[in-house]
Structure 1
Amino acid sequence: MMFTVMLNLFFLILFFKNTKSLESNELVTIEEEHQNWVKLVGSFNHSFFQKADNKFEPCLAIKVHKNPNLGDFVSVQKAINSIPLGNRCRAVILVSKGIYREKVNIPVNMAYVTLVGEGADKTIIEWDDTADRIGKDGKPLGTYASATVAVNSPYFIAKKIGFKNKAPSPPSGAEGKQAVALRITADMAAFIHCNFIGAQDTLYDHIGRHYFKCCYIQGSVDFIFGNGLSYYDSCHLHAKTDSIGALTAQKRESPLEKTGFSFVNCKVTGSGVHYLGRAWGTFSRVVFAYTYMDKIITSGGWCNWGDKNREKTVFYGQYKCMGPGADFEGRVSWSRELTLQEAKPFISLNFIDGYDWLPES
């Protein structure tokens, strides 16, 4: 604890020292300050989360099937409700193919849950709530509660399953139409060969370390958003709109927060015109590496959320990306084409401490 406190104080002193130098009359360029910032954010451990204690050997298997004679439950939520609270072993829920129209919530005191479908386009959990829909308490649900599936439990795993919010794509500038397909508010979660389908705010990558492998994510505006520390490995991001949108909105609010999104070996396709990211947080941090970008990406690449001050504090980078939307020549001056040394902290599982808690396959 004392080490963490001292390290945090060091970061604060260094940050305010750098900020003060920009305001003084010293002959220090913004470019030099930014390079110092690059070195700073890439030099220290990205996470002070709890030590991993994952469990992979299943001790409970539950089957969900649309036919009550072929499974233990016909509802995913009822299967989850059957798991004891405070469980200390992995519970595997096998979900047969079909569309399960229900909202699903996995509580914080239920760890080690695995959902396994028969294919992300065959096993689908769907609902259609939006942020402005009125809840049981007579108030709007808000973005947080609009999620079709909400995962609050640590060590969660999903494989070969689709998460969908069926709310129609809203017109540009519409209020209250955020419609989350999945919200992950938990540490050490993995999603492998999963689909996330929605429009505005599809995937709420809220809090914790997360791993997405070979997933398909579709939306229009800010459709990957939140303040998670997440690694997207070989994922397909598909933007679907006739107007302007954004792939990401990362909400890092402090230089002391070890959060950010890293996209490695991914693919970006779709329609409309899109930013790679918008600076929802003052210290928003997103990196794309070895990623193919279709022509839908605007030449500037990034949006400051209407606040020019964020241009001094965000960390937006590319490393060896390709495709017609990856040309760095027209990018905003406050993003960077990274060197290998600068990219290294973001392009391996070490970014999320993944070697400590991820399954081997």
Structure 2
Amino acid sequence: MFLRLFLLILQLESRSSLVQCSGSQSVVVQEGYLKWIKQMSSLRHSVFQKAEKQKHKPCLTIKVEKKTGAGDFVSIQRAIDSIPEVNLCRVIISIGPGAYKEKVEIPATKAYISMEGAGAEKTVIEWDDTADRIGPKGRPLGTFGSATVAVNSPYFIAKNITFKVSVDDDVDVEHCTIAALRSIGKASSGTEDICRHCSICGVQVPWSPRHTLRPHGRHYFKECYIEGSIDFVFGDGLSLYDGCHLHAITNSYGALTAQKRESMLEESGFSFINCRVTGSGALYLGRAWGTFSRVVFAYTYMDKIITPRGWYNWGDKNREMTVFYGQYKCSGPGAEFGGRVSWSRELTSEEAKPFISLTFIDGQEWIKL
């Protein structure tokens, strides 16, 4: 059915192209559509463009310090605002020690920005927005708009910083969602971001979605600490978590991931390798937010907080036939596979191979080790 549909599109488009083109030009157009159909009908089709090499050598360093006069700016957002539109070279924003209580947004026109702190325990960016808070346009911010730090541009790098949700005790977090870090680009934009030695912290809340980290595009998280309660790593990105510590803070049920892959052709998913999962409460490894949700844990230590079943189908039994949830050589009291749902899998070395290296995110093209 899939191929017949695209062949029909080919016939219609070919006729249209022949009206507009003649001779060798029509041949080129038809060959282009044939190539496109071959790509779209392949199970290896990706919604992401080919990864591009990162620009790592800086052309400018901007210093942000809490003390007036000690740096170029006292505000991170003002440092970002000072960068020219359509930025095409690597700019480092060096952020000194201290708690920076501000909402930060990097616009799509300012690529190649690095934010480097003095250490995750020393440099903290925190804000208290929630999804139900009314924004400047008179409407609730939503989860998308609630992020403490929102990265809308490609080729972002963060090092040695804590991104934190800081909600006052009198705020009713039971009925709002919050994100500490949102890194997003359209699936076709080729967005590629790196976080190293960062902490990304959400809040402790009852059983309903309370997000911490929303990655879209390609992402590499190296030796980061990620803390939250329910669906605290969520979205439809293609993300690799290498040597990270994931810590649950809930007194009831929680979920580590909510991956939103919606098509068999979409090569998004989350892979966790050499990680640690600890915390409190009872934790699902993931919930099937997307019909074709895909998450893999490999060489990961799992504390006893992991529920024996491991995974939840989002209340839709049909998703049990389409999701891809796997473990490979994990350890710890929560890694026991015997009680897992029948629709998850203990991967073979061949099945695990695509998920346990930088090639999962095409990292060999854009990550500098």
Q: How does 1:193-272 map to 2 (within 5 A)?
A: 193-199=197-203, 200-205=210-215, 207-272=216-281
Once the two structures are TM-superposed, the CA of residue 169 in structure 1 deviates from its matched residue by 9.2
Measured in 2, the distance between the counterparts of 1:182 and 1:164 equals: 8
- Contact kept, 8 Å, 2:132 with 2:142, in 1: the verdict is yes
The one-letter code matched in structure 2 to 1:256 is: L
- Contact kept, 8 Å, 1:167 with 1:179, in 2: the verdict is no
Q: Which residue of 1 aligns with 2:324?
A: 315
Once the two structures are TM-superposed, the CA of residue 48 in structure 1 deviates from its matched residue by 3.6
54-63 or 2-11: which moved more? 2-11
The change in CA–CA distance for 1:287 and 1:172 in structure 2 (over 3 A counts) is: farther
- Contact kept, 8 Å, 1:103 with 1:149, in 2: the verdict is yes
Measured in 2, the distance between the counterparts of 1:289 and 1:211 equals: 16
Measured in 1, the distance between the counterparts of 2:124 and 2:264 equals: 38
Q: Which residue of 1 aligns with 2:141?
A: 141
Q: How does 1:72-221 map to 2 (within 5 A)?
A: 72-167=72-167, 174-175=174-175, 177-186=176-185, 187-199=191-203, 200-205=210-215, 207-221=216-230
The change in CA–CA distance for 1:169 and 1:157 in structure 2 (over 3 A counts) is: farther
SS at match of 1:6: helix
Which is higher, the Rg of structure 1 or of structure 2? 2
Q: Which residue of 2 aligns with 1:301?
A: 310
- Contact kept, 8 Å, 1:46 with 1:352, in 2: the verdict is no
95-104 or 162-171: which moved more? 162-171
The one-letter code matched in structure 2 to 1:330 is: G
Once the two structures are TM-superposed, the CA of residue 69 in structure 1 deviates from its matched residue by 1.4
Q: Which residue of 2 aligns with 1:7?
A: 39
- Contact kept, 8 Å, 2:46 with 2:267, in 1: the verdict is yes
- Contact kept, 8 Å, 1:98 with 1:122, in 2: the verdict is yes
Measured in 2, the distance between the counterparts of 1:317 and 1:268 equals: 15
Q: Which residue of 1 aligns with 2:15?
A: none
Once the two structures are TM-superposed, the CA of residue 137 in structure 1 deviates from its matched residue by 2.1
Matched, 1:325 2:324: no
Q: Which residue of 1 aligns with 2:29?
A: none
Q: Which residue of 1 aligns with 2:64?
A: 64
Q: Which residue of 2 aligns with 1:34?
A: none
| 1:16-64 C-alpha deviation (Å, 9 max, x unpaired) | xxxxxxxxxxxxxxxxxxxxxxxxxxxx375642440421111001000
Once the two structures are TM-superposed, the CA of residue 284 in structure 1 deviates from its matched residue by 0.3
Once the two structures are TM-superposed, the CA of residue 170 in structure 1 deviates from its matched residue by 11
| 1:268-317 C-alpha deviation (Å, 9 max, x unpaired) | 00000010000000000000000000000000000000000000000000
Q: CA RMSD in A?
A: 1.8
Once the two structures are TM-superposed, the CA of residue 10 in structure 1 deviates from its matched residue by 4.2
> Structure 1: where are the runs of 5+ without partners?
12-43
The one-letter code matched in structure 2 to 1:185 is: I
Measured in 1, the distance between the counterparts of 2:361 and 2:154 equals: 14
The change in CA–CA distance for 1:103 and 1:307 in structure 2 (over 3 A counts) is: same
The change in CA–CA distance for 1:277 and 1:223 in structure 2 (over 3 A counts) is: same
- Contact kept, 8 Å, 1:132 with 1:142, in 2: the verdict is yes
- Contact kept, 8 Å, 2:293 with 2:324, in 1: the verdict is yes
Measured in 1, the distance between the counterparts of 2:88 and 2:48 equals: 23
- Contact kept, 8 Å, 2:48 with 2:217, in 1: the verdict is no
| 1:163-202 C-alpha deviation (Å, 9 max, x unpaired) | 0011269999943x21100000031100000000113200
> Between Structure 1 and Structure 2, how many residues are aligned?
326
Sequence identity percentage: 61
SS at match of 2:139: coil
The change in CA–CA distance for 1:84 and 1:268 in structure 2 (over 3 A counts) is: same
- Contact kept, 8 Å, 1:131 with 1:179, in 2: the verdict is yes
Relative to the length of structure 2, the TM-score reads 0.85
Once the two structures are TM-superposed, the CA of residue 134 in structure 1 deviates from its matched residue by 1.3
46-55 or 242-251: which moved more? 46-55
The change in CA–CA distance for 1:171 and 1:230 in structure 2 (over 3 A counts) is: same
Measured in 2, the distance between the counterparts of 1:290 and 1:52 equals: 29
The change in CA–CA distance for 1:68 and 1:172 in structure 2 (over 3 A counts) is: closer
SS at match of 1:350: helix
The one-letter code matched in structure 1 to 2:297 is: F
- Contact kept, 8 Å, 2:46 with 2:265, in 1: the verdict is no
SS at match of 2:338: helix
Once the two structures are TM-superposed, the CA of residue 152 in structure 1 deviates from its matched residue by 0.8
